[in-house]
Structure 1
Amino acid sequence: MSTEKTWTATSTKQLYRHKSGTYYARLVVEGKPTWRSLKTQTLSVAKPELARLLEDNAYRDELSRDTEVTEKMTGEEALTLRESQLLNDPATKKSTKRYWKEIVASIKKTWPAFLTLEMRRVTVEQCESWAGKASKLMSPTRFNGCLLVLKSLFKIAIKHGVRRTNPALAVKRAKTRRKDLSHKLPSQTRFREWVEALRQRRGSKAQHKADMVELLAYTGMRLGESKWVQWKHCDFERGEILVLGAPDDGTKNGLFRRVPMIPAARKLLERLKAEHSPAPTDYVVRAKSANKSMKKAAEVIEMDVLTHHDLRHLFATMCIESGVDIPTVSRWLGHQDGGVLAMKVYGHLRNEHSIAAASRVSFSA
């Protein structure tokens, strides 16, 4: 009989190592002890994963307590019910749950009295008063997210017979302005100057950050998507990159897609592969983010500061200016609306190219 121990305790409470080498968390869920795999054999990775799992488990236990619904339901009780619905919905992504927590924090910060207010007594005037203050303290997008949550809370109150009307319906959404990309995005020459400034910065990860910036600009991937691309996902024969997103959540819309290797992307990937000789399961991107370096490099060459998401816009703009139709670019970006959103954001580019194309139409012999 083997005397090898199946589980080995670590110096971290509730963290154990299985004889296979994989780390596990020892949890108590609904009063029952259970093991949860952390899906890693690296201790430095297992520790933060354990912390995240413990936080999620505690949060779920807190919300699983029965909430008695009475006619005096408060804003906090309505929030608890809505949170419970989200956490118990298997179709809700973890990123959505994280976003929910951010929205709730914004509501609490801008309307702290809402938590103790009885839902049946909240008036249209109170909702409008909150909207007037909150809209000045947050972006239009964040405000609209908070408003959407408030409306859902009153729907819960109506469903439970606490009230008959939804006072938040009287509040109008904030207008979101479309970004003026024509002035912010750099030309090809300025982009190359900016990347070179990135590479000239001090630090051992300067080259990795510059490589990541180039990859985002050449593929249109979101930052969160690019982090999970492994070398086995880069198909040089077909000239495609498989974008799967995070292992738990996938991409933003939950679907995988294939992004073509434009010449610049292929050249970058071939160079990186030759330099590092990576294994198929190694990650292509070797930097977590480059915000600070991107800002400093832009200041050096006196260029508008770009974000990681602006590089996605740059990719789409370059594709359209090169003659790729908007529906195709939309698919490359991972949109599922057939190009509606891309048309709103990049439609002005299509119009400019339509005018240029019109000048080449001739009825002469």
Structure 2
Amino acid sequence: MNETPQKSQELKKVAECLYRNGNKVYFALVKVRGKQIKRSLKTDDMAIAKRRLAELREKAERLHGKENKNIRFEELAENWMESIKASLKPKSHDRRRVAIVGLTPFFKGMPVKAVGFAEIDEWRRKRGASISARSHNIELETLKNLLRYACDRGILMDNRAEDFKRRKQPKAVVDVLTRPQFQVLVKALYASPIAVASGAAAMVEFLAYSGMRVGEAREVRFCDVNFETNTILITSGESGTKNHEERTIPLFPNLRNLIQRIKAARPTADANDRIFQIDSPRGALPAACKRAGLPHFSVHSLRHFFASNAIENDVNFKVVAGWLGHSDGGMLVAKTYGHLRQEFSATMAQKMTFEGLSDTPPTFAVVRDAAA
């Protein structure tokens, strides 16, 4: 009765290191540094099996010697964090550090080679219930990157974190400032002597009129503004932009007028001086919202305000994405602000009247069926 299942598991050698079971599925059986490795190649095609066998051998040969085979999770994490430091912005590096802090209690003291499906699944079940989908996805992505690093160094053959999928994140609701709300907010800021003197009031306007991230805006210098070509260069100084690419945006009318006002107020400013002498208006913004009786709007809300105004003025998603510094051709803008375009379209539809047509509907003759 159990004869068939038993035969299906028996392996028959068909080539060097290559075997096939009773179901005609190919297996690899290789030996590296005295250790025998058996893997299903998950195919019944000989050509594919040979290719996967070669890939398995290559991975197996990359395994390091005694100095790395027992490296612990926390040691590998420390090495990896140091290796990625130069290629990440401080904020991004800190995000990875926080993710490692969340992962460590589940893997601390464990040899990296012992981090398999069961160990990762335990992290997912226990940790996943206590954190948001976004935090879960950041930690999972961090674990995948860390174990890829281990594979590249020859410490691991397989990255079992790749078997796990991201959790679905609820779509964020973007609370966009309306134009009347923005006018009230600006009025409240300029009514505060501290917000005016610090430059916070002007910086709020600057962010709303340019769509820049606050880290980009604080690094803009007077020499980056070209009134002849009507453009402004965004570099973010030494830290660079989010995607490490400089970009040029138009000197939009409100933005141009604002910079001219700032220049007039600082006639002795050098061309290499930063336009703003503060890093962010984060301190002044919540206070102004509260005084004006507005909902709490963050600095990032000003970027949303810029994007929504561009869309309502019928600027296409790809152009808006370029101004914002996105490199996805407008997909994120469409996903985030697509509902605004639909609402705007519905409003514009009400203007679709056909002037000059007669108010009296025409009389249509009734055509009877000839066969009737």
TM-score, normalization: structure 2?
Answer: 0.69
1:204 to 1:315, Cα distance in 2 relative to 1, 3 A: closer
- Among candidates 129, 136, 143, match of residue 143 of structure 1: 136
Change (3 A) 1:256 1:164: closer
Give 3-state SS (helix, strand or coil) of 1:242's partner.
strand
2:76 — aligned with what? 78
| Secondary structure of the corresponding residue to residue 203 of structure 1 | helix
Among all aligned residue pairs of Structure 1 and Structure 2, give the percentage whose two residues are the same amino acid: 29
1:259 aligns with 2:252: no
Q: Deviations over 1:163-204 (max 9, x none)?
A: 4433323433133333322xx222111111112222333537
2:230 maps to 1:274? no
Q: Secondary structure at the match of 2:249?
A: strand
1:289 is displaced (CA, Å) by 1.6
Q: Structure 1's 224 and 204: CA in aligned 2 closer, same or farther, altered over 3 A?
A: closer
Cα displacement (A) at 1:237: 2.6
Secondary structure of the residue aligned to 1:185 is: coil
CA distance in 1, matches of 2:198, 2:166: 43
Structure 2 vs 1, CA of residues 275 and 98 (structure 1 numbering), >3 Å: closer, same or farther? Answer: closer
Q: CA deviation at 1:134?
A: 4.1
Cα gap change, 1:289/1:133 in structure 2, threshold over 3 Å: closer, same or farther?
A: farther
Aligned to 2:304: 313
Corresponding residue to 2:165 among 164, 172, 185: 172
Inter-CA distance 111–320: structure 2 relative to 1 (3 Å threshold): same
Q: Does 1:323 align with 2:314?
A: yes
SS at match of 2:101: helix
- Does the Cα contact within 8 Å between 1:197 and 1:300 map onto a contact in 2? yes
1:300 aligns with 291
Q: Is the CA contact 1:317–1:349 (under 8 Å) kept in the aligned structure 2?
A: yes
Matched, 1:239 2:230: yes
How many angstroms apart in 2 are the aligned matches of 1:231 and 1:161? 51
Residue 43 (structure 2) aligns with: none
Cα deviation, residue 113, structure 1? 4.6
Match of 2:29? none
Name stretches of at least 5 consecutive residues in structure 2 with no aligned partner: 1-64, 358-372
Distance 2:185 2:66 in 1: 58
1:285 aligns with 2:276: yes
What letter matches 1:127 in structure 2? Answer: I
Deviations 1:210-269 (A, max 9, x none): 11111001000011111111111112232221111122x321112111122222212211
State the shift of 1:302 in Å.
2.4
Task: Indicate if the aligned counterparts of 2:206 and 2:258 stay in contact, CA closer than 8 A.
Answer: yes
Q: For structure 1, which segment, 200-209 or 285-294, has the greater mean C-alpha deviation from structure 2 after superposition?
A: 200-209
1:187–1:357 CA distance, 2 compared to 1 (3 A): closer
Report the CA distance shift for 1:169/1:362 in structure 2 as closer, same or farther (over 3 A): farther
Letter paired with 1:77: E
Contact conserved, 1:111 with 1:130, CA < 8 A, in 2? no
Please say if residues 189 and 195 of structure 2, whose CA atoms lie closer than 8 Å, have aligned partners that are also in contact: no
| RMSD, matched Cα | 2.8
Change (3 A) 1:141 1:361: farther
Mapping of residues 1-365 of structure 1, within 5 Å: 69-87=67-85, 92-93=87-88, 95=89, 98-135=91-128, 140-181=133-174, 184-201=175-192, 203=194, 208-247=199-238, 249-277=239-267, 278-357=269-348, 360=352
1:351 to 1:130, Cα distance in 2 relative to 1, 3 A:
same
Deviation at 1:156, TM superposition (A): 3.4
After superposition, give the CA deviation of every residue in 1:34-87 in whole Å (9 maximum; x if it has no partner). Answer: xxxxxxxxxxxxxxxxxxxxxxxxxxxxxxxxx974322211232234234324
Q: Are the aligned partners of 1:75 and 1:115 in contact in 2 as well (CA < 8 Å)?
A: yes
Cα distance 1:155–1:257, how it changes in 2: closer, same or farther (>3 A)?
closer
C-alpha separation between the residues in 1 aligned to 2:287 and 2:126? 34
Give 2:27's aligned residue.
none
Secondary structure (helix, strand or coil) at the match of 2:309 reads: helix
CA distance in 2, matches of 1:241, 1:156: 40
Contact 1:110 1:133 in 2 (8 A): no
Assess if the C-alpha contact under 8 Å between 1:198 and 1:206 holds in 2. no
- Rounded Cα–Cα distance in structure 1 between residues aligned with 2:118 and 2:100: 17
Q: CA–CA distance in 1 between the matches of 2:191 and 2:119? A: 54
Q: Distance in 1 between matches of 2:121 and 2:284?
A: 41
Structure 1 residues 163, 263: closer, same or farther in 2, change over 3 A?
A: closer
